[in-house]
Amino acid sequence: MSRLTTLPTLVLVATCLVVSAGCARSPEAKKARHLERGEKFLARKAYKDAVIEYRNVLRLEPTNAVAIRNLGLAHYQVGELRDAFPYLKKATELEPQNGGGRSPQAGHRVSRGAPSR
């Protein structure tokens, strides 16, 4: 084989290995990765990115209380109250001890039954 055909073949094989390794992650590993990324985005106040990560978690585990609560909080922080309310309400149902979120205003609004500003 010549060098011109060997290099593209190696690149193709390496790409296939990388892609297959990414697909081989367990659902638990994927969920943990998305949760971790969501936490980082939430801490950096990158709420739109956090929403994406927490939705990815919920695709893998629809009843994940942490993802539900934090998704509600991320929506709340960007003023998407209609999106935030169902998640914060569900978080309160799943984890009543947490009051649906870390924000006192969010918890208060959920307990009142309406997201108002």
Domains and CATH numbers, the chain: 26-112 (1.25.40.10)
Distance CA 60, CA 39 (A): 17
Give the predicted TM-score (pTM) of the model: 0.66
58-98 pLDDT, tens per residue?
A: 999 999 999 999 999 999 999 999 999 999 999 999 988 87
Which residues lie below 8 Å from residue 9, measured CB to CB, with a gap of 6+? 1
Q: Is the pLDDT of residue 17 over 70?
A: no
